Structure formats: structure tokens, C-alpha cells
Amino acid sequence: MKKYLVILGCLAAIIAAFGCQSDIILPPDVDLVGTYTGTYAYITDYAAPDQKSISEYVIFIFDETVYHMNLDTTQELENCFCAVDGLWKLTEGVELREDNSGPEEGCEGACNDEMNPEGIFVREIKDDSLILKMQDGTTLKMLRLLKISD
């Protein structure tokens, strides 16, 4: 019986030492800090035939814990989203929490703060683009961003 316990103990030690060889090592999280350019889309009645989409060119800045979203005034603008400042952190996605928002300087229309990017966004990396998506019922908020500087 003692011999059986010794063999079982050795077997457990071997499995513990070599059993983790097939563990998958994930790469570290992508560092989001930087300045991005791209588009922000606010889509209602998402996936319905008559969905309504509003999108605009934006400049998005992630600092260590804060973010800023402004319209990219170097582009021809058709829609007015608010200029937004807030806090961000990595959770199971990217959590954006708005602190302050208001009309974009030089934008003709009024902004609607209900359209601001806020909540927990799923993060995808496709080619060189960072894509952040959040769906709330039939409303989809989506940022498609390209990093232009650290």
C-alpha cells in the first residue's frame, strides 16, 4: 500500500511539473493610450431594414485614465456629435464613463448627449483599426479608429 501511495505521489508530481506545458499564453492587452482618428456611428433600429445611422469623423484621445472625443474639423461634417470628456478603463472590454459633454465648437447643429459613447464597449482589432462596439437593445454605438500617435 505504501508503495502504491509513493507511485501515486510521484505521478502527481510529474503531472504538476509537466502538465501545464499546453497552457495558452495570451499576449498582453493592447495599450490604448494615444491619439486616434476615425469615425463614430450611432445606429438605431440596428439590424432592422429601416435602421437609422448617424456617423461622423472624430479625433479620439486616450490618456492614462481619461478620454476626449472631438469632431474632426479637417473633414467635411454633416452631423454634430457632442465633444465628450470622460474616464476610461479596461474591464471585460473598454469602459467609457462620460464626465462632461457639450456642443462642438463651430458645429452648426445641436448635439444630443444621449448619443455620446458611454458604457462598456467590446474591443476588436482588425488590420490597423481599433473597433469599439456597444449594443443596447436596438441601438449600436461604434467607434472605428486608427492610431496616429502615441
Domain CATH for 61: 2.40.128
Question: Residue 141 is part of which domain span?
Answer: 34-149
101 vs 10, higher pLDDT: 101
Q: What's the pLDDT score for residue 3?
A: 56
- Are 133 and 122 within 8 A, CB to CB? yes
Concatenating the DSSP letter of every residue in 25-65 gives PPPPPPP--EEEEEEEEEEESTTSTT-EEEEEEEEEEE-SS
- The C-alpha cell at 7 is 507511485
Domain count, the chain: 1
* Residue listed under C-alpha cell 457639450: 102
* Residue listed under C-alpha cell 452631423: 79
Residue 79 lies in a domain: yes
Residue 30 burial (CB count, 10 A): 10
Residue 98 lies in a domain: yes
pLDDT digits (tens, 9 = 90+) for 27-76: 455 579 999 999 999 999 998 999 999 999 999 999 999 999 999 989 98
Termini Cα distance of the chain: 65
Q: Model-level pTM greater than 0.85?
A: no
The closest alpha carbon to 107, from 133, 52, 69, belongs to 69
Q: What's the pLDDT score for residue 20?
A: 52
Question: Taken in order 26, 126, 62, 93, is the CA torsion positive or negative?
Answer: negative
Residue 48 lies in a domain: yes
Residue 17 lies in a domain: no
Residue 1 lies in a domain: no
